C-alpha cells in the first residue's frame, strides 16, 4: 500500500535509494543530498511503500509564499510508474500551492499531456544548467 506524507520528519537517506538514475541524470545526487534538498524545499510530498518503508515517489516545490512557486522535481520509481502515484503527488502539491498566482515547472515535450490534465499550459522558458554541480556536491 502507498501512503503519502508531506514532511521529511523521520525519513532516512536509505529510504531514498534509486531516484534520478532511471530519469537519466549522469551525476545524480546521492540519497544524503536528496534528503537535504527535500528538507530545504518549501513543500514536499513523498509516496511511501508501506511494505518496504521505501520512498517510491516524491515532488518538491519552492515558493516565495506570496505570488510564485516552482516545482523543480517530480519522480516516481520505474516499477511504481503507471499506478496513479505521479498524478496523486502533483494533485497534493497543487493543493498546497493553490493560493498562489504562479505555479511553474519545466518539462520535456513528452510530459506536456501529463501536466495539462491539471490545467497547466505550455509556455516557453529559459534555463541554465551547471552540469558539474548536478550531484549537489
Ligand X SMILES: CC(C)(COP(=O)(O)OP(=O)(O)OC[C@H]1O[C@@H](n2cnc3c(N)ncnc32)[C@H](O)[C@@H]1OP(=O)(O)O)[C@@H](O)C(=O)NCCC(=O)NCCS
Give the binding site for ligand X (CB under 6 A).
23, 74-76, 81-87, 105, 107, 110-111, 113-114
Q: Kindly state the helix (H) or strand (E) to which residue 95 belongs, with its residue range.
A: helix 85-96
Residue 81 or 134: the one with the smaller Cβ distance to ligand X is 81
1 vs 66, beta carbon nearer ligand X: 1
Least distance to ligand X from the beta carbon of 98, Å?
A: 19
CB of 15: closest distance to ligand X in angstroms?
Answer: 17
CA distances from 128 to 89, 110, 113, 131, 133 (A): 26, 20, 24, 9, 12
Distance CA 110, CA 92 (A): 22
CB of 118 to ligand X, least distance (A): 10
Joined grid coordinates for residue 131: 552540469
Amino acid at each position: 500500500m502507498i501512503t503519502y506524507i508531506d514532511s521529511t520528519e523521520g525519513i532516512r537517506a536509505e529510504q531514498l535509494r534509486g531516484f534520478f538514475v532511471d530519469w537519466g541524470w549522469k551525476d545524480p545526487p546521492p540519497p544524503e543530498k536528496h534528503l537535504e534538498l527535500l528538507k530545504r524545499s518549501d513543500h514536499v510530498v513523498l509516496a511511501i511503500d508501506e511494505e518496504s518503508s521505501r520512498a517510491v515517489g516524491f515532488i518538491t516545490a519552492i515558493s516565495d509564499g506570496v505570488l510564485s512557486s516552482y516545482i523543480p522535481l517530480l519522480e516516481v520509481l520505474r516499477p511504481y510508474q503507471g499506478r496513479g502515484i505521479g498524478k496523486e503527488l502533483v494533485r497534493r502539491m497543487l493543493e498546497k500551492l493553490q493560493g498562489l498566482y504562479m505555479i511553474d515547472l519545466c518539462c520535456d515535450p513528452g510530459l506536456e499531456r501529463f501536466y495539462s490534465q491539471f490545467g497547466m499550459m505550455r509556455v516557453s522558458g529559459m534555463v541554465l544548467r551547471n552540469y558539474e554541480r548536478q550531484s549537489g556536491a
